[in-house]
Amino acid sequence: MEKYQIKGGRRLSGKVEISCAKNAVLPLMAGALLTNEEVLIKNCPKIVDVYSMIKILRCIGVDAEFIGNDLRICADGLNSEVVPFSVAKELRSSVFMLGVLLAKNKRAEIPYPGGCEIGLRPIDMHVASLKSLGVVIEEDGGKITCDASNMKSGVVYLDFPSVGATENLMLASVFTKGETIIKNCAKEPEIVDLMNFLNGMGAKVSGAGTDTIKIDGVKRLHGTIYKPIPDRIEAGTFIIATAITGGEVEIFNVNPENISSLIHKLCNNTCKISLNNDIIYIKCGKSRKSFTIDTNPYPGFPTDLQAQMTALATVCKGTSVITENVFEMRFKFAKELIKMGADIKLYGRTAIIKGVRKLFGTTITAPDLRGGAALVLGGLVAEGTTIVNGVRHIERGYDGFENKLLALGADIKKI
């Protein structure tokens, strides 16, 4: 099991280039199946989740391989609508296969995407929405079998603006005759990216980024070359890493609008942040003030930056209060920060964090992707050496994480 060894106390400084967004690329990879022509996803991050998705595509006959930094996908060899458990178990985003296989072949069989470290992550809204459009769905023995031969257009109202359910419905409806409307849909930037990608292939999708998306069915889609949006969560992670080390960093290839809630939160703290198109310049002092955060669906504060902000809060003056409103088990990493001397008390979905003078390096374990990133941030500021186990969690969503931190002056290496 690979680990990170981090010697804390270094201020981050220099420049870092953000990769394209994991949470944009994964639904795009599924969307590429909606044509038999070649699709090229430019500057695709080489992260574990992308390789897991490549495995899923290949096992149903789809060509998927990196050509340099671009990911080439060609689905003209698609030969099955059954996604085996052996490949789907590694990746929750296998659920996107439901939508594309129903659109393309009117049939799909996928294993129940497991819950994960941050919650049960059911797909009841995906299932209920598809059923309301006429898809016949059987759920038994840990798998879902779907028949979309009588799928029709219609209006779907999501009880919660689920990112995955919104994306699955968009993918499932591109060929459905008539107009399908998704109300109370997710508004994340990755949803807008999926709309732009699909429209670039000849789809007719509108409204992404608002609470109502409309999909007018078309007969077929053609290939495309598409560059996904920058990863707002990776960018946010480096911004918080700069804040926790009192550093001075220029972050390239980022859309500041997509992380305005974080920028607003830190500007009111002690960070000097200036924006210039797709560059964020951030300079932070050592005297950081405590803060309050409630995570919410976009444009609220992103749940995927909650753990990183909790790490920052451990060394801010005063008491911070962070409430996680999106996932039910997203504070597992807190006990690892407590081993480093953090003062964190959990009350259900709320963490009360009393700032301490310093954290101390020790051996800790990443429980999940963003919790793991938070532990690395703790190690950057801790006195002494921190060993973070479970690097594989972190490599699911960050491309070259330790090399980017190393280039900013951190003392970090994989051992």
Catalytic residue positions?
Answer: 116
Per-residue binding string, ligand EPZ, 183-212, x by CB under 6 A, is: ---x--------------------------
Question: In this complex, which beta carbon is closest to ligand EPZ, that of residue 163 or of residue 192?
Answer: 163
Q: Is 123 in the site for ligand EPZ (CB under 6 A)?
A: yes
Q: What is the DSSP letter of 112?
A: P
- Which span sits near ligand EPZ by CB under 6 A: 2-10, 114-122, 195-203, 358-366? 114-122
362 with 341: CB under 8 angstroms? no
Residue 158 to residue 301: CA distance in whole angstroms:
20
Q: Is 303 in the site for ligand EPZ (CB under 6 A)?
A: yes
Out of 78, 169, 263, 369, name the contact with ligand EPZ by CB under 6 A. Answer: 369
Q: How far is the CB of 129 from ligand EPZ (least distance, A)?
A: 8
Per-residue binding string, ligand EPZ, 236-255, x by CB under 6 A, is: --------------------
The first and second tokens of residue 131, run together, are 């059923």
Count of residues that interact with ligand EPZ, criterion CB under 6 A: 24
Question: In this complex, which beta carbon is closest to ligand EPZ, that of residue 26 or of residue 316?
Answer: 26
Per-residue binding string, ligand EPZ, 12-31, x by CB under 6 A, is: ----------xx--x-----
- Which span sits near ligand EPZ by CB under 6 A: 65-73, 116-124, 308-316, 380-388? 116-124
Out of 4, 101, 111, 126, name the contact with ligand EPZ by CB under 6 A. Answer: 126
Provide the edge-to-edge strand list for the sheet that holds 13-17: 13-17, 248-252, 279-284, 271-276
Provide the edge-to-edge strand list for the sheet that holds 385-389: 363-365, 385-389, 3-7, 411-414
Question: In this complex, which beta carbon is closest to ligand EPZ, that of residue 64 or of residue 163?
Answer: 163
Q: Tally Cβ neighbours within 10 Å of residue 274.
A: 12
Question: In this complex, which beta carbon is closest to ligand EPZ, that of residue 162 or of residue 314?
Answer: 162
291 with 323: CB under 8 angstroms? no
Beta-strand relationship, 319-323 and 292-294 = parallel
Q: Is 168 in the site for ligand EPZ (CB under 6 A)?
A: no
Residues in the chain: 415
Q: How far is the CB of 54 from ligand EPZ (least distance, A)?
A: 15
Q: Is 122 in the site for ligand EPZ (CB under 6 A)?
A: yes
Out of 29, 32, 83, 163, name the contact with ligand EPZ by CB under 6 A. Answer: 163
Out of 6, 39, 101, 125, name the contact with ligand EPZ by CB under 6 A. Answer: 125
Out of 240, 246, 397, 399, name the contact with ligand EPZ by CB under 6 A. Answer: 397
Query: 121-127 long-range contacts, Cβ below 8 Å, gap at least 24?
Result: 121/92, 121/327, 123/95, 123/164, 123/165, 125/158, 125/159, 125/160, 125/162, 125/165, 126/95, 126/98, 126/162, 126/164, 126/165, 126/168, 126/169
Q: Of 182, 137, 181, 147, whose CA–CA distance to 164 is shortest?
A: 182
Q: Is 165 in the site for ligand EPZ (CB under 6 A)?
A: yes
The first and second tokens of residue 322, run together, are 């962070």
Q: Is 121 in the site for ligand EPZ (CB under 6 A)?
A: yes
- Residue 235 buriedness (CB in 10 A; 0-12 / 13-18 / 19+): buried
Cα-Cα end-to-end distance for the chain: 9
> Which residues bind to ligand EPZ, rule: CB under 6 A?
22-23, 26, 93, 119, 121-126, 160, 162-165, 186, 303-304, 326-327, 369-370, 397
